[in-house]
Amino acid sequence: MTYTYREDTDDADQPTPQHDPLSNPSNPDPADIDEILTYSTMFYKDEFQEHPDIVNTVAVDAAFRARFAVGYTAYVQGEWAVAREVLNETLGMRRNAKGTEVVRDGPSAALLEYMEGFGFVAPAGWPGYRVLEGK
């Protein structure tokens, strides 16, 4: 069975952030992990909090999500040496549904591939994100 999910941001609420979840990249507050993993410069309704079943469909555990949040935060903040180390760990942390085989994590791989293009050093003036040129 295949599930797809599409969030239409046109009608989304526009919340005002209470604090910056990326303020402590080495040791994120566990309460901020979902916000870090869905961090965006766009305002949107947080479907992941309202529908936790969506998060559960991606076959990751709390340890993976916490570690990926550390790597992603380091990536956003331009600390690419840290991001590289952590994302190399998360690359092989996921397992198949039976828990018997390692499943390569696509988001970790994509971030590592992008950083590799810059020699794992954030470019000068790194804004914390990259523009996606296509699907």
Region 96-109: mean pLDDT is 82
Binning pLDDT at 50, 70 and 90, where does residue 61 land?
confident
Q: Write out the DSSP string of 35-69.
A: HHHT--SS----HHHH-HHHHHTT---HHHHHHHH
pLDDT tens column, 32-49: 666 666 555 444 456 656
Handedness of CA 134, 114, 121, 104 (dihedral sign): positive
Region 109-121: mean pLDDT is 96
Binning pLDDT at 50, 70 and 90, where does residue 126 land?
very high
Q: Write out the DSSP string of 83-111.
A: HHHHHHHHTTTEE-TTS-SEE--HHHHHH
Residue ranges covered by each domain of the chain:
21-116
Q: How far apart are CA 13 and CA 21, in angstroms?
A: 19
